[in-house]
Structure 1
Amino acid sequence: MSGFVGRSRELAILTSLLETVRTGRRADPGVALTLRGRRRVGKSRMVDEFLRRTDVPSVYFQAARHAPLADELAELTRAVVGSTLPDAVAAAGTAPTTVTAALTLLAAALPADTPSVVVVDELPWLLERVPGGAGELQRVWDTRLSKKPVLLLLLGSDLAMMEHLLAADQPFHGRATEMVLDPLTPTDVATMTGLSAAAAFDAHLVTGGLPLVVQEWEPQDSVESFLRRSFASSTSALVVAGGRSLDSEFPATTPARQVLTALGGRGERTFGGIQGADRADGFNATTLTTTLRTLTGKRVVEVDEPLSARPAPRNRRYRLADPALRFWLAFVEPALGEVDRGRPDLAMDRVHAGFGAWRGRAVEPVVRQALGRLLPDDRWPVTRVGGWWPRSNVPEVDLVGMTGDHGVGFVGTVKWRTAPLTTTDVDALARDALAVPGVQVGTPLVGVCPGGTAADGLATVWDADDLLRAWA
């Protein structure tokens, strides 16, 4: 595959904002937008495509993590000098020593009578080196940048820091539009690969929706053929993407990386399971609590609680928020040595042994997300979709749909396979459902299965095509 595919909604938003700058429909000519999303999700690539399509004067600066401030300010100045801004030459020979001075220099180079675009990529990495840096950004924006017809795009991979930038108690609050760039949806993956709905979900689970990885999926590739080709090269996008994303934020020896490995690589979900995962002495409870709090604060880890008529916050589970890391930690990282020595067959043996069980678990949050987008509808007045489990984890119910704070609208099972649901599956669901607080004898039973159903007793069965419409 080649060329840029997808992101039409986001590109339309950027184009609309640039048109707002062009027409001067706001009190100040300038417009700011913050764009946050995980590393490798395609923020920079999308903005590059936007700049290519708009063909207006622009400057693009990308901050480097942990770089000395003087080096960063010098690099920002070089970016201005080398840009397509008509007055860029005015910045030549200057050496700003503060963020305020550098941004003031930038503002002076912006045209006053024609639209331009300024991109600051990885803004948190620049501001983390400067106490009060957000205040400096706010001051120069208010006094200089916003007075020019400019679209200021502030990009960042640290989701928590980008959210904090616009918090009510922060200087830049209320000054920018927010945009979140998520991984490609299963529908996007289906469009890019030409796969059937069920196969597109499998491709989404394997690639995590990362554009660079999905672009290496050849037409009519199966999971098997895609993985064999990817494991045959140590420079394939699938092999490289996860490591680069993790190593930049969570080096291998840190507690955070070890927690992520326990979650993604070993499938642990409970506090106790993570605490004892593959360590001779286990995690110290205080250290693990602090680490999980940090990872959830950074939006890297998500916390799930069983959904029913009776809240059970003590039975919480943890999972990776980044879909791209789920497959990478489970199957790619353990195979890196085999890939490097040219043994993709050994990496595939690991996939053959564990992919089915892994997929059954990994698809559940995707299914719940899809149903959360599809519902409520005319039949199901469901406003929340989750799962349920007791402290013992027996039984587990894949789907619980709530109609209010305490009303259980349905309970369901997820079987991600080509074979249809059977009477045995329905009977097992009916037995397990009775353990869910709020479920009554007449509570509807539902199912999710690409193969549909060959059994009676289910009020609704959603297949892969039904779910794919959630992102249409």
Structure 2
Amino acid sequence: MIREFVDRETESALLEEEWQKDGGRLIILYGRRRIGKTRLITEFVRDKKGILHFAEDTAPQIQIRRLQEAIAQFFDDPLLATLEIATWDQLFTYLARIPLPERRYLVIDEFTYLIKNDPAVLSALQKAWDTAFAGSNLYILLSGSMLGLMTDSALSYTSPLYGRRTRDMLLGPLRFADARKLLPWFSFRDALKAHLTIGGIPEYLLKAGDYPDYRTFVEREFFSRYGYFYREPYFLLSQEFRELKTYQAILNAVAVGNTSASSIAQFCGMDARHLYPYLEAMTRLGIIEKELPLLGSRRQGLYRIKDCIFDFWYNFVFSHRQEIEMESLTGDAVDMNPYFGKQFEVFVRNEFARSVLPGYTVGRWWYRGEEIDLVAARESDASIVFGECKWGSLTEREGRGVLTRLMQKAGGVRHDRYPNERFCLVAGSIEAKDRLREEGFLIYDLEEIEAVCAAG
């Protein structure tokens, strides 16, 4: 069954814009595995003519032969099919000689497999581009999932393709408003929990969408040794890195609450000076990120796991592997609420706040043990919003207590540039929220979040 193709309007429009331009086009599309690159490509080329080639991780000669066969078949070229072609240079040179009176595409999906097994493909493509493809009607689209290899070999200034590409696109995860469309059976709360667990990765969401609710999904696919996600983060790491034990130790350290470089190094038994190359490598690939307080010292950076699947896995699967192998772990056996509380804060900052606080720069603040979950500042009217996020339900008394402590903490933030301040509370549910709003507070719970998501 072909599933609904959601979102990606911006990316589809950019690909179409390149298609309509004159001359040769060279687009590089990259993103983590399962992000939806292949689906985007197949939707884009659906009504167009050209060659869609799916590369495989195999010997260069086999790769050359397979692409040669695809080109020969598309152009109905029996001569090409019989030629002994041994190099990428020969193949691209032959392709360059085929006249193209109209726009045609050459799409190579998982181009990183070609680079990995024969880096000479880059120089061969550069030569063909400079001598023929740039002035032709050929639309070349190269996609790849090995982010390190794609960045270093195809996008960096040392790459033979540097300065040739007409556009590069990093495909990111779906926003929750779009991701929810792939979870038709889930309640809103369950859909949000799934998003906080696996992020906006289309293939992951489709897997979750096969289940009636979040609990069943997690028990079957995470807490089972036969589950789809039981080894997934390990496979993702092994695709990019060799020193897996070190990367796993670092991710485990961050997942359980070690967020400064010194505490991560101490947890892993490493010298902090040796830690940074690993942190930088995972930051470059979007697995972790370094956060800085919105208003505060730029030297107070803390690390967090950016990719939800890694955060959830190292919190609950990595630490319970023995029980999972013995088939003795259920969703009731682990308390996920602290995890959801942490990820709910991130969701509010990265998605929800940007919808209800347009024009604001959004982040958080911390200093000497004090922390504010949400800080949003807007230059145009010198306004600032301080907010707290709570995953659970709050009584009116609890809500007022949270807001009182928030106002006290806000007094320690240097925000002279923003004299117009307001205070915000976001929670799963909040009793007497209308009364709090009448007093000037910004109050949101899952009911408002659902309405905002439904509005797009």
TM-score of the superposition, structure 1-length normalised?
0.81
Decide which structure has greater strand share.
Answer: 2
Contact 2:399–2:430 (CA under 8 A) maintained in structure 1: no
| Deviation at residue 402 of structure 1 after TM alignment | 2.0
Q: Describe the SS at the equivalent of 1:388.
A: strand
Q: CA RMSD in A?
A: 3.4
2:107 to 109, 115, 119: 119
- Could you tell me which residue of structure 1 aligns to residue 329 of structure 2? 346
Aligned partner of residue 432 in structure 2, secondary structure: coil
Give the total of aligned pairs.
443
Match of residue 389, structure 2, among 410, 414, 420 = 414
8 Å Cα contact 2:176/2:200 also seen in 1: yes
Distance of 2:10 and 2:321 partners within structure 1: 35
Whole-Å separation in 2 of the counterparts to 1:425 and 1:369:
22
For 2:132, which of 144, 163, 181 is the aligned residue? 144
Measure how far apart 1:189 and its partner are.
2.2
1:447 lines up with 2:446 in the alignment: no
Question: What displacement does 1:416 show?
Answer: 1.8
- Partner of 1:183, secondary structure, is coil
Partner of 1:267: 257
C-alpha displacement of 1:313: 2.1
Partner in structure 1 of residue 308 of structure 2: 323
Letter in 2 for 1:426: L
User: Which of 364, 367, 386 pairs up with 2:363?
Assistant: 386
1:225 alignment partner in structure 2? 216
C-alpha distance after superposition, 1:285-327 (max 9, x if no partner): 221022212222333321101111xx31221111223233222
Q: Is 1:402 aligned to residue 387 of structure 2?
A: no
d(CA) in 1 for partners of 2:266, 2:440? 40
Task: Specify which of 90, 94, 99 is matched with residue 101 of structure 1.
Answer: 90
How far 1:445 sits from its partner (Å)? 0.9
1:361 equivalent in alignment to 2:342: yes
Q: 1:285 aligns with which of 256, 272, 275?
A: 272
Aligned letter for 2:41?
V
SS of the residue aligned with 1:288? helix
Aligned partner of 1:192 in structure 2 is 182
Which one-letter code corresponds to 2:126 in the other structure?
Q
Alignment check: 8 A CA contact 2:182 2:209 kept: no
Distance 1:18 1:275, change over 3 A: closer
In structure 2, list runs of 5 or more residues that go unmatched. Answer: none
- The yes-or-no answer on 1:434 pairing with 2:411 is yes
- 1: CA distance, partners of 2:230 / 2:290: 27
Secondary structure of the 2:329 match is: helix
Letter in 1 for 2:28: T
The 3 A distance-change label for structure 1 pair 223 and 118 is: same
Deviations 1:426-459 (A, max 9, x none): 1221222222222789731112223245363553
Residue aligning to 1:298: 285
The corresponding residue for 1:241 is: 232
Q: Does the 8 Å contact 1:410/1:444 carry over to 2?
A: yes
TM-score (norm. length: structure 2):
0.84
Please say if residues 35 and 153 of structure 1, whose CA atoms lie closer than 8 Å, have aligned partners that are also in contact: yes
Query: Is structure 2 residue 25 aligned with structure 1 residue 31?
Result: yes
Q: 1:246 to 1:94 in 2, by over 3 A?
A: farther
In the TM superposition, what whole-angstrom CA distance separates every residue of 1:155-174 from its partner, at most 9, and x where no partner exists? Answer: 12344654564466764326
Give, in whole Å, the separation in 2 of the partners of 1:144 and 1:336: 55
Letter in 2 for 1:331: F
Structure 1 gaps, min length 5: none
